[in-house]
Amino acid sequence: MNLQQNLIIYIILMPYHIFSYNISPVPNNVFKPPNIPTFMEQQESSLFGYSLTLKKNSILIGAPKAQTHLASQRRVNETGGLYKCNFENSVCEPFIVDIYGNTVVEDTRFAYNSEKKDFQLLGYTMDGLSSDNSKFVVCAPKLKANLEHHYLLHGACYWTSSENDNAKINRIASLRARDQQVKTIEKHNVYFNMYGQQGFSVHITENSEEILMGAPGIYNWKGSVIRYRPRQKQKKNRFGQLDNKNLNNGIEYVSEIINPMFIGISEDSYLGYAVTSAYFGGGDSYRLLYAASAPQANDQVGKVFIFDFVEVQNNFVRDKTMKIYREFESQQMGEYFGYSLLAEDINNDGYPDLLIGAPMHSKNSYFESGAVYIYLNTGKLTFEQQILLTSDYLFGGRFGTSMSKLGDLNQDGYNDVAIGAPMEGNGVVYIYHGSAQGLMSKPSQKVLPSGSQIPTKFPGLMFGHSISTGVDIDSNGYNDIAIGAPYGEEVFIYKTYPIVQISATIITDKKEIGKNDTRFQTTACWRFFSSTTNITHDLGLYDSALSEFLCLMYHLQILLCDFFLLFSFHIITHKLTTEFNILLKADTKHGRAKWINNNKFYELNVTINNQVQCHEFDVAVFFNIVDIFKPIEIEMEYRLVNQLINSTKFCDKCVVLHENSVESVRTSVVFSTGCKSSMCIADLRIESSLSGSRLPYILGSTRTLAVKYDVENFGETAYLAQIKITLSNVTSFAKVPSNCKMDEDEMICDLESGNPLFSQQKSKLIVNIDTSRLSGKQLVIKAEAFSNGEEANFDDNKIINVMELIEYSEIEIQGHSSMTQFAIEDPLSDPTITHELEIINQGPSTIRDLSVMIFIPTRYLNEKKDIKVFNRSDLMVEVRYKDSLIPVTWYHENKLLEDNLNDDSSTLSPDSDLEIAEDEFDIVTSKNVELKLNDRRRRSISVELGQLQQQRHQTILDELPFNRTIHFNCKDNYVEEYSCMQIYFNVNNVQAVGKDVIKVKINYLLQLNALNQVFDEHLDIFAMQPLLMLTTNVGDNDDDKNVMTYKITEENLPVTIVFKHFNKEFALWIYIVAILAGLLVLIIMSLILYKCGFFKRQVKEELERLTQNENYTSYSNNIDDDEKY
């Protein structure tokens, strides 16, 4: 096989759940203070782990509040201490830098020599390089010079060129000069070196030749920076280091102190709070520059300076000051801008960038959540702020308290950093990766403490207060880190796992198979490699950045259905054995292939070495026209197994897969279709028609609506031709055909039952739409034809049908009166009359919005009389639909009557909230109501009052004598508008032909005295009847008013007739006399008819006579016969 055919794709999967990247998620070693007897009892935490320096084979740990075990310091309280912990035996022992206790020495005229070391905080700061035999420095910033009446807070530092036991310890005490303690400047005494606190911060330069120390208490806490370096001016190499050939054992070191008099900062600025250095010029620049912070400068806003030491003449004395190249200022007052500093090239452009910590930064003005300012060095000492980096923790985590260089943890060519947030719970350390654009805005890993058993009086462990630089302590090519938790008195060692990549590929012997092909051949290959030479060397592979390409070809034998091939391989090396599970899949989505041995899983263990290994397999397939344009995919997935990275014991045989790697590789094979190209180009055209219905469509007229579609193909063969139909209205399809399926609100149908639609072939489809929920004015039906292939012309693939919808209903109105007629003399008191109405929708459409206006006359008006027949309180109306009470509104003269005037209810129900006064009601003009009524009249189809009256059945009323009858209704008596009361109500969605009808009940309290005044000698019959006007709202356009939406087919309104002189007793007498007279006439007529023989039945009597004679004759003959015998 030709290996150059392989397309190599890197396949890396992330390890198990809690492991985010290659730093061990749990500490691999934990150091605690040694159990050594001390001369004074430890009252509180020794702050073991407050500072630390990680080296190749050991770690130096500061404990600034530790008690001493030295007899010479037995009277010193909390001297502080330094411990050296070896990785080989995990033992911590004191590392002695000062064997003397408090000293009383005669002071010279040049310096103060007596010292008091109680609470000196030895181990508060330290710095060093990673090599065991490299320079190391530790400081005690509160070491005091002991005067008779007061102390001088000078501080001191100790350094050594090696951590070996026999290495010489050197002491740096730069602030003891007598004439520099208090100075008179501009007639004011200032504390100059008196409270300088040398060693509050400390840093060893990159060239290992200089020690930079912060002294923030100099000059009334303006602060200063001290540089400690050799005095000789010797030639330096290209790295800025002194040439060793010219060095001798008699090197003299000198301290150079920045005089803050010549710096434009105010007192209490704390210059020197943090210090660092770098070759900020970048490239081949040999010039080392320094950075120092003054977090309280500029009215507590804070400043950071990039500077160099320069000489200045001061009263005939040479002094040192700062030549400032760049200044950085904070964005928030009081955030302690410059609490920590870090110089590192994070974007690999050759220029060191600057990271400035501000742990008191607040994102919500309540908590000190912390922040880190990232400034990218663009060259020529020009910096641009990349980002203000913050954590997601908002409750005082103090993110940015500590920062450290880690080197390139993930081997991507960019340096990474660690940032501590010691007050976030027990403490957190965030790992950020560098990139070409700068530091990533999101951490790649969040390191948390675990396994801490030491109780603490303080909240949390302060895990992350100190972070070491990255050092490769196990020689696997990846830097490891140490993290201190001083409140818990623990230091945690976290090792880093190697990062590897798997490069893999899958190829097939055919890129296209025919419909009748049943097999093709597949080959899988991969290789293992790491980006570090140390790893590849330990693996026993070639000593290069990339391991030897290893290839395994798998003979994939695949059968039908969704079966997988699973196998694993082991990387066997001198130190490392890593197992990968590899899952091969064949056409899992469509099930057109499977392994030939019918195994669901196929597992294979392979040992990786420097030999090429390959396996080949056959794939068995079958043709499915539905998925003809969908390729058969062969996919390979990877994952690590048997990883012990969550164990406290570091797994030397474990690796981590690269974070940017993909999870699978795949290849595919397509079917041959017989078209000019691999994809057929069809030309579908769609047409539609309405089947069995007419337009416009009357809502509710039919249960379904049938639409017919014709789809014709004018191009190449259309495989799996389909049609997609979408309805715009809130409705659905009445039935989904067997060749169709629903996809949310769309129906997709296969044309020709899924068979190909050939050129010039036409396919038909009829769909039925459920009309039971249709509403509105239009139904929009969209249809689109498509196939698996491409389309030559999309313009005729879609069709949109807009169907006009109208409403039409036949309405029946039935009425009933509780008193159809009575005489005015009959009732003992004023009667209550009830008129009941039923409004019935006979269909076919549902009435969406039905408005009803009931007109009830209240006054009788003519040329001579104006009589109020009803008071407002005499009327009550109740409207119900579907057992629900419908609110009504009262109008008079088209003005809304004010509600809630007295205790009168507008309905029979106590639940009604529509109340209006009786007589002295206020008429309130409501513009909104008037506008609404006018708008409704404009947009609606209504029956005029006169037209409505002409349609009513007048059977009862027509029988009354016209010249004696008063027709008391709002048509015949509608002389003035105020003579009638209008009751308005609205009902929505009145269903057609249902059991639910609109029921209206009207109660009248008839005033008989008023009615007597209506009658006169000629008019003695009073006919009372309510009238109705119906209105339906069909749309917003003016043209809608010409459309008839309903028709009243039957109307029987209730009526009550009152007679003035109709007497029940008199009427009864008339009835009795009429009955008796009728009986008498009947008797007389019967007698006359009887006398005339009308009741005689001659034929019947003659027949009876003849029958009797015949019987007699027969009897006589029988007697004669008997006598003969």
- For residue 1022, give both structure tokens: 């009073």
Residue with the bigger pLDDT between 44 and 4: it is 44
> Which DSSP string corresponds to 69-129?
--GGGTT-S--BEEEEEETTT--EEE--S----SB-----SSB---EE-TT--BTSEEEE-
* 568 and 636 part of one domain: yes
* 602 and 556 part of one domain: yes
Domain assignment present for 884: yes
Taking a C-beta distance cutoff of 8 angstroms, is the pair 344, 405 a contact? yes
What band does 883 get if pLDDT is binned at 50, 70 and 90? confident
Q: Which amino acid is at 412?
A: D
Most confident listed range (175-189, 501-515, 643-657): 175-189
Q: Which amino acid is at 1089?
A: L
Residue with the bigger pLDDT between 148 and 978: it is 148
Domain assignment present for 247: no
- Per-residue pLDDT, 972: 61
DSSP 8-state symbol, 939:
H
- Per-residue pLDDT, 242: 52
* 663 and 769 part of one domain: no
Query: For 375-430, how does the pLDDT look when each residue is reduced to its tens digit (9 = 90+)?
Result: 999 998 999 999 999 999 988 999 999 999 999 998 888 999 999 999 999 999 99
Residue in the block written with tokens 């929505």: 988
* 836 and 909 part of one domain: yes
- For residue 133, give both structure tokens: 């035999």
* 875 and 1015 part of one domain: yes
Beta bridge partners of 503: 10, 527
- For residue 389, give both structure tokens: 């980096």
Taking a C-beta distance cutoff of 8 angstroms, is the pair 241, 201 a contact? no
Distance (Å, whole) CA 854 – CA 1018:
30
Residue with the bigger pLDDT between 371 and 696: it is 371
Domain of 553, CATH number, reads 2.60.40
Helix (H, G, I), strand (E, B) or coil at 219: helix
Domain assignment present for 322: no
Query: For 616-654, how does the pLDDT look when each residue is reduced to its tens digit (9 = 90+)?
Result: 888 888 777 777 777 888 888 877 776 666 666 777 777
Q: Which amino acid is at 885?
A: L
Helix (H, G, I), strand (E, B) or coil at 365: coil
Query: For 938-996, how does the pLDDT look when each residue is reduced to its tens digit (9 = 90+)?
Result: 333 333 333 333 344 456 777 788 788 888 888 765 545 447 888 899 998 888 877 78
Neighbours of 250 (CB within 10 A): 6
Taking a C-beta distance cutoff of 8 angstroms, is the pair 55, 481 a contact? no
| Interacting residues of 947 by C-beta distance below 8 A, sequence separation 6+ | none
Q: Which domain holds residue 1095?
A: 1068-1118
What band does 569 get if pLDDT is binned at 50, 70 and 90? very low
* 516 and 586 part of one domain: yes
| Domain end marker among 1059, 1078, 1102 | 1059
Distance (Å, whole) CA 663 – CA 667:
14
Question: Is residue 174 predicted with pLDDT exceeding 80?
Answer: yes
Q: How many residues does the chain have?
A: 1125
Give CA torsion, residues 751, 753, 755, 758, to 10 deg: -40
* 996 and 1031 part of one domain: yes
- Domains held by the chain: number: 4
* 1085 and 994 part of one domain: no
What band does 927 get if pLDDT is binned at 50, 70 and 90? very low
* 778 and 823 part of one domain: no
Domain of 752, CATH number, reads 2.60.40.1510
Do you find a cis peptide bond into 737, omega within 30 degrees of 0? no
- The answer to whether the Cα torsion of 1052, 1058, 1061, 1063 is positive or negative is positive
Query: For 780-807, how does the pLDDT look when each residue is reduced to its tens digit (9 = 90+)?
Result: 999 999 988 888 888 889 999 888 888 8
* 977 and 871 part of one domain: yes
pLDDT (average), residues 813-841 = 85
Beta bridge partners of 175: none
- For residue 1042, give both structure tokens: 């010409």
Q: Shortest CA distance to 400 belongs to which of 489, 457, 339?
A: 339
- Per-residue pLDDT, 159: 95
Do you find a cis peptide bond into 696, omega within 30 degrees of 0? yes
Q: Which amino acid is at 711?
A: V
Question: Is residue 875 predicted with pLDDT exceeding 60?
Answer: yes
* Buried residues in 819-852 as b, exposed as e (16+ CB within 10 A): beebebeeeeeebebbbebebbbebbbbbbbbbb
Most confident listed range (441-445, 495-499, 907-911): 441-445
Q: How far apart are the first and last CA of the chain?
A: 147
Query: For 116-142, how does the pLDDT look when each residue is reduced to its tens digit (9 = 90+)?
Result: 999 999 999 999 988 888 899 999 999
Q: Shortest CA distance to 293 belongs to which of 351, 350, 354?
A: 354
Task: State the average pLDDT for the chain.
Answer: 79
- Classify residue 950 by burial, with Cβ atoms within 10 Å: 0-12, 13-18, 19+: exposed
* 574 and 716 part of one domain: no
Residue in the block written with tokens 């009081």: 334
- Per-residue pLDDT, 548: 34
Structural Rg of the chain based on CA atoms: 54
| Domain end marker among 806, 834, 867 | 806
Domain assignment present for 935: yes
Q: Which helix (H) or strand (E) holds 1064?
A: helix 1064-1091
Distance (Å, whole) CA 396 – CA 944:
78
Query: For 91-102, how does the pLDDT look when each residue is reduced to its tens digit (9 = 90+)?
Result: 999 999 999 999
Q: Which helix (H) or strand (E) holds 401?
A: none
Taking a C-beta distance cutoff of 8 angstroms, is the pair 530, 499 a contact? yes
Distance (Å, whole) CA 216 – CA 223:
4
Domain assignment present for 717: yes
* 1051 and 1008 part of one domain: yes
What band does 916 get if pLDDT is binned at 50, 70 and 90? very low
Measured CA distances, 438 to 351, 354, 374 (Å):
12, 11, 8
What band does 897 get if pLDDT is binned at 50, 70 and 90? confident
Residue in the block written with tokens 């006589």: 1116
| Domain end marker among 771, 806, 841 | 806
* Buried residues in 160-182 as b, exposed as e (16+ CB within 10 A): beebeeeeeebebbbbbeeebbe
Query: For 1094-1123, how does the pLDDT look when each residue is reduced to its tens digit (9 = 90+)?
Result: 777 666 667 766 766 665 455 445 545 544
- Per-residue pLDDT, 410: 87
